[in-house]
Amino acid sequence: MRIVLAAAAGLAAMLLFLLGFSFYQAWAQEKTLYETADSALFAQLAQAADEMAAEISQKRVDDAQKAVEEAIARGLQTRLEKYSDELLLLVNPWNEVPENYVALLSTVEDGYLIDRRCADALMAMVNACREAGNLPVICSAYRTHEYQEELYQNKIKRLVAAGTAPWDAPQVAARSVAIPGTSEHQLGLAVDIIDENYVNLDQYQQYTNVQKWLMANCSDYGFILRYPNGSSDITGIIFEPWHYRYVGVSTAKAVEASGLTFEEYLQTLE
Ligand SMILES: [Zn+2]
């Protein structure tokens, strides 16, 4: 009887132990699972936080960059508006007609178009030149980009036909017919005037009565001879004793008095 009791007690103790052990094992397994899950989750959260921080700092950099770009664009726009308002917009081989430039035009004689701010001044100048006994003829005024392109391509063809090497022709052409996008005629503020008695666009045009009169009087009407003799290194364009640019009377007088090219004169205003 005692043996049976002892055996039963032993069996019960063993069962209890086994039960306890299996509970412990289950608990320990779950604990490990939790710990693994926690560290994985933690790593995930840490990575997300890092990414968010990187995103925020990148956004700060982007915002700062954007602010700078916007300030520059605003500055350029203001400058464009100011210079456009003041008729001082510089267009030459190194300064293209601004992309958003809109020429507001008026028709003058023979259907030529010109910036409406100088249409009256142009006709006053041409008429005064006639009253002085001369025969001025407007031969070019406002040009569209497409028309400038046509003129430029024609010039290249003529040069090649006359013996200029095809690979040199575009550059040579650009000295007398501006590369499209860089012609003052696209602004509507430039006009070519020749003498009916001598219609060639070459340096001898300067000796005609029309040019003599215009060179002496154009500033009274707000025009300057834009490409004077010996200034092509600065203007990028050959001597053109027929191309007049409207800048307004006060600027025309100031440019004339300074003896500078328009490019140099603008630099004195910087
Ligand atoms: Zn011209």
CA of 166 to the centre of ligand 1 (A): 24
Indicate the pLDDT class of residue 4, thresholds 50, 70 and 90.
Answer: low
Across 165-189, average pLDDT: 93
Give me 183's structure tokens.
């012609």
- Least confident stretch, 30-34, 166-170, 186-190: 30-34
Measured between alpha carbons, how far is 36 from 30 in angstroms, rounded to an integer?
Answer: 10
Triad 258, 263, 268: Cα angle to 5° = 55
Using a pLDDT cut of 90, give the percent of the chain over it: 70
Average predicted confidence (pLDDT) for the chain: 90
Examine the pLDDT at 186 and tell me if it is beyond 90. yes
Q: What is the pLDDT of residue 84?
A: 73
CA of 102 to the centre of ligand 1 (A): 19
CA of 69 to the centre of ligand 1 (A): 35
CA of 121 to the centre of ligand 1 (A): 17
Sequence spans of domains, the chain: 1-85, 89-143+183-269
Measured between alpha carbons, how far is 60 from 54 in angstroms, rounded to an integer?
Answer: 10
Across 19-24, average pLDDT: 71
Examine the pLDDT at 146 and tell me if it is beyond 80. yes
Examine the pLDDT at 206 and tell me if it is beyond 80. yes
Identify which has the larger pLDDT, 234 or 39. Answer: 234
CATH code of domain 89-143+183-269: 3.30.1380.10
Q: What contacts 121, CB < 8 A, 6 or more positions away? A: 221, 222, 223, 246
Give the CA distances from residue 64 to residues 51, 55, 67, 69, 154, in Å, rounded to whole numbers and listed in that order: 20, 14, 5, 9, 47
Residues in the chain: 270
Q: Which residues are catalytic?
A: 240
CA of 22 to the centre of ligand 1 (A): 101
Examine the pLDDT at 24 and tell me if it is beyond 80. no
In three-state secondary structure terms, 224 is strand
Q: What is the pLDDT of residue 1?
A: 62
Q: What is the pLDDT of residue 149?
A: 95
Examine the pLDDT at 31 and tell me if it is beyond 90. no
The per-residue pLDDT for range 210-268, each reduced to its tens digit, is 999 999 999 999 999 999 999 999 999 999 999 999 999 999 999 999 999 999 999 99
Examine the pLDDT at 34 and tell me if it is beyond 80. no
Give me 177's structure tokens.
């017919």
The per-residue pLDDT for range 58-106, each reduced to its tens digit, is 999 999 999 988 888 887 777 777 777 779 999 999 999 988 888 999 9
Identify which has the larger pLDDT, 40 or 92. Answer: 92
CA of 167 to the centre of ligand 1 (A): 25
CA of 185 to the centre of ligand 1 (A): 6
Q: What is the pLDDT of residue 37?
A: 66
